[in-house]
Amino acid sequence: MPANLTPQYLSAEKRYKEAQSDRERLEALKEMYALMPKHKGTDKLQADIKRKIAQLRDDIQTGGKGSKHQFRYHVDSEGMPQIVLIGPTNVGKSQLLAALTQAHPEIADYPYTTRIYLPGVMNYLNYHVQIVDMPPIATDFMEFWVTEIIKHADAALLVVDLASPDPLSQVEEIRQLLREKNIYLTRNETNPDPYRPEHFILTMIVGNKSDHKSAPENWQVMQELYESEFLMCPVAAINGSNLDELKKMCIQLLNIIRVYSKPPGKPHSTERPFIFKKGSTLLDFANTIHHDFSQNLKFARVWGSGKFQGQRINRDYELMDEDIIELHI
């Protein structure tokens, strides 16, 4: 029996073959399985894809072959900025991950559905950001490795349930539990005392279920209390309400820019920009391309908005969003 594979399936298969990381391959395989016609002609193909999905999941969670029983307390960001989703149980973190990325977390209305971290990739205006769904943080139960992953993330979204009777208590409970682990949620990255062991994590409060009848009143109260301390954004993950604004604010929270590389004499690639913190310089860019480039750099040229196209720039040039950089070594 012919497989009769659809163009959408073949497109997902192409992405799988061209994927550069296990995470991208896993997402492509999941999409291939979802798009595949289910009949006798695809039985062997279905089984093969399910086997590959299981193997990739195992490799991602254990760090690859030869470490089958070793769980890592670190999520590989694969070169992207990393944002973790934190909050109490059943506030919709997994639903939010599914809405922002191509990930497919288990979603259920019972507590502690998420028992292991699950990353996905958010693509917004060619910014690629890794979003990591985390197990819940609660007084009665918290996975011991959760705080280690939070400490190494670039930022966090503290997700609360605007349909609950008291979302304020959710915020305060999470803040207190993390303070006990020397983790402080903040709007800016400045550590007032770098010699103390505290970890300061850039954080935005996300009010989920904003479509609930009690949400507007709850959100107004939360804004009055927290707007001076945090970026804040209400969403309804289940129907996609206000997700574009949330994505925009994630970029604002991370304080990042996009920079493109242009080989001399060739057009620049628009596929995947390099992501830098605002304030990064040409030398930072050169080091990212290759660790020897900063030492051997003769000069560089830049194309971008408000510039003389192709003008020469110095080593201490501050990178701007959507710069196109041509290095001459």
Question: Please, which residues bridge with residue 118 across strands?
Answer: 133
Say yes or no to pLDDT of 315 above 50: yes
Please report, for the domain that includes residue 88, its CATH number: 3.40.50.300
Q: Look at residues 254, 287, 307 and tell me which one is the last residue of a structural domain.
A: 254
- Whether residue 261 sits in one domain with residue 280: yes
Tell me, yes or no, whether 310 lies in a domain: yes
| Distance, CA of 329 to CA of 324 (rounded, Å) | 16
Tell me, yes or no, whether 71 lies in a domain: no
Enclosing domain of residue 52: 7-62
Residue 318: which pLDDT band, with cuts at 50, 70 and 90?
very high
Tell me, yes or no, whether 38 lies in a domain: yes
Q: How many CA atoms lie within 13 A of 126 on its CB side?
A: 13
pLDDT, position 309: 87
Please report, for the domain that includes residue 303, its CATH number: 3.10.20.30
- Whether residue 230 sits in one domain with residue 106: yes
Q: Which two tokens stand for residue 25?
A: 């391959």
pTM of the model: 0.75
Determine which of 3-12, 135-144, 174-183, 235-244 has the lowest per-residue pLDDT on average. Answer: 3-12
- Whether residue 209 sits in one domain with residue 127: yes
**49: phi then psi, degrees, rounded to nearest 5:** -65, -40
The alpha carbon of 37 is separated from its chain's Cα centroid by a whole number of angstroms, namely 31
- Whether residue 49 sits in one domain with residue 24: yes
Q: Look at residues 254, 280, 300 and tell me which one is the last residue of a structural domain.
A: 254
pLDDT, position 313: 94
Determine which of 123-132, 151-160, 288-297 has the lowest per-residue pLDDT on average. Answer: 288-297
By 3-state DSSP, what share of the chain in percent is helix, strand and coil, each rounded to 5?
A: 35, 20, 45
Tell me, yes or no, whether 75 lies in a domain: no
A 10 A CB-CB count for 169 gives 12
How confident is the model over 55-100, as pLDDT tens digits? 777 666 555 544 444 445 678 888 899 999 999 999 999 999 999 9
Say yes or no to pLDDT of 179 above 80: yes
Q: Which two tokens stand for residue 192?
A: 């007032």
pLDDT, position 284: 93
How confident is the model over 27-65, as pLDDT tens digits? 888 888 888 777 777 778 888 888 888 777 766 655 554
| Distance, CA of 168 to CA of 225 (rounded, Å) | 9
Determine which of 29-33, 85-89, 121-125, 274-278 has the lowest per-residue pLDDT on average. Answer: 29-33
Q: Look at residues 254, 270, 300 and tell me which one is the last residue of a structural domain.
A: 254
pLDDT, position 60: 65
Radius of gyration of the chain (CA): 22
